[in-house]
Amino acid sequence: MIFNPIVMDNWSRKPYFEHYLNNVRCTYSMTVNIDITLLLSELKNKGIKLYPALIHMITTVVNRHSEFRTCFDSQGRLGYWDSLSPSFTIFHEDDKTFSSIWTSYSEKFNDFYNRYLDDMKMYGSVKQFIAKANEPPNTFPISSIPWVSFTSFNLNVYNEGTFLLPIFTIGKYFLQDKKILLPISGQFHHAVCDGYHASMLYNELQLRADTCEEWLSNN
């Protein structure tokens, strides 16, 4: 867990960062339907849960790009983490509340999946907003709304607009043209990433779903 401070005068993004943080503070959201037809089939064959597979997909792509790992640290310094881990919500069916759990990321899916299962076994029934304590600073949020498919989703974070990490929300998958599609919404800060970066993220998520046979078997 290494935080790399950015030297502003050496950063090519400096004018964009200053504009979208100081002049026109701006976040934006984008929702894309990801084809998970093959992914669902592979998960069913292997007896693997969908939610952790999606969490791993998103985290893997996020960790490939420093734009999505850029934020302010506890000292107010701007920089980027060498790696992020996911902090995700789980739903309690009995009282319709949710809790937040984090799991340490591993590029190897099987390692991450086992950590996820261990965390769910230990903290999955804990009825607290933060079910697993001691969350490290290098996490980003993922949540799921599996009861409805949406074409757009927007979050409004009232913290003076300085939360720079992406926030992801997963919707309900649906059948269209013989494909199973899953809406994934991302909330991004324009100070650190543009439409190009978000587009590349979604293209890589689709590629990740299309090549799931490879990484699901990655030991």
Q: Which residues are catalytic?
A: 190
Q: Measured between alpha carbons, how far is residue 68 from residues 62, 97, 113 in Å?
A: 6, 29, 22
Q: From CA 184, how far away is CA 209, in angstroms rounded?
A: 13
For residue 158, the cross-strand partners are none
Long-range contacts of 106-115 (CB under 8 A, 24+ apart): 107/60, 107/63, 108/218, 108/219, 109/53, 109/56, 109/215, 109/216, 109/218, 110/218, 110/219, 112/52, 112/56, 113/48, 113/52, 113/53, 113/56
Q: Measured between alpha carbons, how far is residue 99 from residues 93, 167, 169 in Å?
A: 11, 16, 15
Q: What does 152-192 look like in DSSP terms, one character per residue?
A: -------STT---S-EEEE---EEETTEEEEEEEEEEETTT
Which of these, 64, 56, 28, lies nearest to 164 by C-alpha position? 28
